[in-house]
Amino acid sequence: MNEEQRDAVLCNADIVYVDAGPGTGKTHMLTSKLIEYIRTAPQKIVALSYTNTAARQLGVRFNKKLAQSGISGDFTFFNGTIHSFCFRMLKAYNKAVSQLFDYVILDDEEIQELAEDIRDSHDGEIPLSQILSSLRSDKRDVPEELFSEVSRIKEAYKVISMQDILANFAKALDTDAGFRSWLSKQVTVVAIDEAQDLTELYYSIIDRMITIIPGLRVFLVGDPRQNIFEFNGGSYRNLEEFL
């Protein structure tokens, strides 16, 4: 690591962002920061990556570095995407309070199939694009009547989209005091990779978590020159507004 990266790893600020371009060893720096958190105090770490593949790679690097460090501190470690984290927390909380949370996440193929079934039930009179948007909880250019119908179908089948997961998590943070109290005991550190590719909703969730979790540490690594997922609503502007 160079001097700037070492400073970031040792920095005690609650929120730390590092601009790390290709070849700068950002994964090494990110895992080193996680080890440093563990070295200083018991931690409940959530490491978030944009894709499952990136999450698996980060997990392998972290476990290798942890073994090399010889540290046996008191910590828990969740590694995955923001969607998998939010889904797991919603499911765990509902189990903790003896409530049923039996939703199934629809993948792209299942969303396509369900959209075609809904279109066929309307004799093909509704554009498939509008049904797909409704299933993904995207209200843009979708008649309210159709959106409400699709929402009822999803609830009847107990299925949710990726967007639903984030929206439901954000809603729980806003409206459920019990969930806020429970979540505040589950996380002490959030580490975020590819911070330049995150959506406005993603950052609004992190903002809410900072508000409700005393002393939450957030460590972000990104490269504004590589805004790969802008088509999904990810933007460096969202990161700038968050910081």
Residue 123 has pLDDT above 50, yes or no: yes
Q: What is the DSSP letter of 15?
A: E
Is the pTM value of this prediction over 0.85? yes
Looking at residue 174, its pLDDT comes to: 96
Looking at residue 28, its pLDDT comes to: 87
Looking at residue 12, its pLDDT comes to: 86
Question: Reduced to 3 states, what is the DSSP secondary structure of residue 187?
Answer: coil
Residues 6+ apart with CB under 8 A from 53: none
Q: Please state which of the ranges 34-38, 163-167, 218-222, 231-235 shows the lowest mean pLDDT.
A: 231-235
CB-based contact 152:118 (threshold 8 Å): no
CB-based contact 160:104 (threshold 8 Å): yes
- What would the pLDDT profile of 232-243 be if each residue is shown by its tens digit? 555 667 777 777
Q: Which CATH class is domain 3-98+164-242?
A: alpha beta
Average pLDDT, the chain: 89
- Within a 13 Å sphere around the CA of 91, how many CA atoms are in the beta-carbon half? 12
- What would the pLDDT profile of 81-106 be if each residue is shown by its tens digit? 999 999 999 999 999 999 989 999 99
Looking at residue 231, its pLDDT comes to: 45
- What would the pLDDT profile of 12-31 be if each residue is shown by its tens digit? 899 999 887 766 678 888 99
Tokens matching residue 166: 């984030």
- What would the pLDDT profile of 141-179 be if each residue is shown by its tens digit? 789 999 999 999 999 999 999 989 999 999 999 999 999
| Residue-range domain boundaries for the chain | 3-98+164-242, 104-157
The residue-averaged pLDDT of 75-83 equals: 95
